[in-house]
Copies of this chain bind each other. A is one copy, B any other.
Amino acid sequence: MSGPGIDIVKAGHIELLVSDLGRAKEFYVDTLGFVVTESSSERLYLRGLEDRQHHSLVLSRSDEPGVGHIAFRVADEGDLPAIRKLLESRGCKVKPVSKGEERGQGNALLCEDPFGFPVEFYASMDKVDWMLQRYDRYRGAKVMRLDHFNIMLPNVAEAFDWYVHALGFRSTEETETEGPTPSLWAAWLRRKPTCHDIALTTGKGPRVHHAGFTVPDRVSVMDCADLLASAGYLKSMERGPGRHGVSNAFFLYLRDEDGNRIELYTGDYLSADPDWIPIKWKLNDPQRQTFWGAPTPASWFNEAMLVRSPTTGKFAKLVAPDIQDRPDYLLSAK
């Protein structure tokens, strides 16, 4: 059960580290169609067509690619003290972020969570023009909004406990390893009533596997694949288009030119029922990853984004999981 005063609303935004802001702008803005809210020599604050908030994607210049932080929006600024207390009770370093320190954002907390991830909690953000009915501004992938984060770490069961029992997330779908004593291999956890706001997956970690952005429909995904192929971004398309078994979403995984990974995502479902029973998958089910049975490239399991500590500025060291980090049919793929 979530503690009193901890009411997380949704996955809010992510900060990606890119080596060349101009090149990143060509990819995210000129090609994929993210909307620029604000920019500086060091950062681009971007949003989707559906966003009424200042940003859901921040691109920050950095010599090393990776993730600066992920952020959850909470219902009220009054939630922040309880979150701080909870984090500190777990020994996490917490760094208050003042209103405006991150452009457009109110007071917030930035921490290194119990698993080494840089996580921010914020309650308010400047309002901006809604582009949803500015169809004359739609471009590229028609990115609507941030939907979820997918993170990799060696011990999913521990993170599950943290997100569900401490932070009040609910489990929508789960993957278990095979055999008589299955381990929890992955979980899709939600605050907003969709499939998820965050997915936890087994792998060397702490790393962020991807951020998933919502697009309107399958045709938008297909159009984006054609566009990327025409615009010289052939290598950016890592996996898909395809249909996930888990989440039922239609997807395309993209790598920017620094290797950061995002997902174009559409077509999951409403999970509002209070008695929702998590949907269970087995790790080796061939339809779990891609409902059509298509193979997943090895890079999708091997590679993920490093995370930078908000306190030290260093990238977190990786720890390997004790259990296998991919389905049997990919065990030999490196």
Let me know if A277 is at the binding interface, CB within 8 A.
yes
A55 within 8 A of B: no
Q: Could you say which residues of chain B place their CB within 8 Å of the CB of A248? A: 132-133
Bound-complex Cα distance A293 to B239 (A): 11
Partner of A293, one of B124, B138, B234, B291: B234
Q: How far is the CA of A53 from the CA of B272 in the complex (A)?
A: 11
The residue that A133 contacts in the complex, of B52, B135, B230, B275, with Cβ under 8 A, is B230
Task: Find out whether the CB atom of B237 lies under 8 angstroms from the CB atom of A293.
Answer: yes
- Spot the interface stretch: A14-22, A92-100, A215-223: A215-223
Give the distance in Å from the alpha carbon of A270 to the alpha carbon of B291 in the complex.
26
CB-CB nearest 10 A-B residue pairs: A135-B226, A135-B230, A136-B231, A136-B230, A234-B293, A217-B217, A10-B272, A135-B227, A75-B274, A219-B219
CB pair B287 A229 closer than 8 Å: yes
- A135 near B75 with CB under 8 A, answer no
Interface residues of A (CB under 8 A from B): 9-10, 31, 50, 52-53, 73, 75-76, 123-124, 127, 130, 132-138, 144-145, 192-193, 214, 216-219, 222-223, 225-231, 234-235, 237, 241, 243, 245, 248, 250, 267, 269-270, 272-277, 279, 286-287, 291-294
For residue A274, which residues in chain B have a CB less than 8 angstroms away from its CB?
9, 73, 75-76, 123-124
Nearest B residue to A248, CB-CB: B132
Q: Shortest Cβ distance from A293 into chain B, in angstroms? A: 4
Q: Give A248 to B276 CA distance when docked, in angstroms.
A: 29
Contact A273 to B53, CB < 8 A, known contacts A218-B219, A234-B293, A291-B133: yes
29 A-B pairs (CB sep. < 8 Å): A50-B270, A52-B276, A73-B272, A130-B279, A132-B269, A133-B230, A133-B245, A133-B291, A135-B226, A135-B231, A136-B227, A136-B230, A136-B231, A138-B223, A145-B269, A192-B193, A216-B267, A217-B217, A219-B219, A222-B222, A222-B243, A222-B250, A225-B292, A226-B243, A226-B292, A228-B292, A234-B287, A235-B293, A237-B292
From A135, A137, A293, residue with most partner B Cβ within 10 Å: A135
Residues of chain B with a CB closer than 8 A to A279's CB: 130
Known contacts A241-B241, A275-B124: does B135 contact A229 (CB below 8 Å)? yes
Give the shortest distance, in Å, between A244 (CB) and chain B (any CB): 10
For the complex, give the distance between the alpha carbons of A164 and B294 in Å: 38
**How far apart sit A164 and B262, CA to CA, in the bound complex (Å)?**
38
| Cα(A258)–Cα(B248), bound, Å | 30
Q: How far is the CB of A54 from chain B (nearest CB, A)?
A: 11
Query: In the assembled complex, how far is the CB of residue A84 from the closest CB belonging to chain B, in whole angstroms?
Result: 19
Kindly provide the distance from the CB of A13 to the nearest chain B CB, expressed in whole angstroms.
Answer: 12
Q: Determine the distance from Cα of A184 to Cα of B234 in the docked complex, in whole angstroms.
A: 26
User: Complex formed: what's the CA distance from A288 to B52 in Å?
Assistant: 20
Residues on B with beta carbons closer than 8 Å to the beta carbon of A243:
222, 225-226, 229
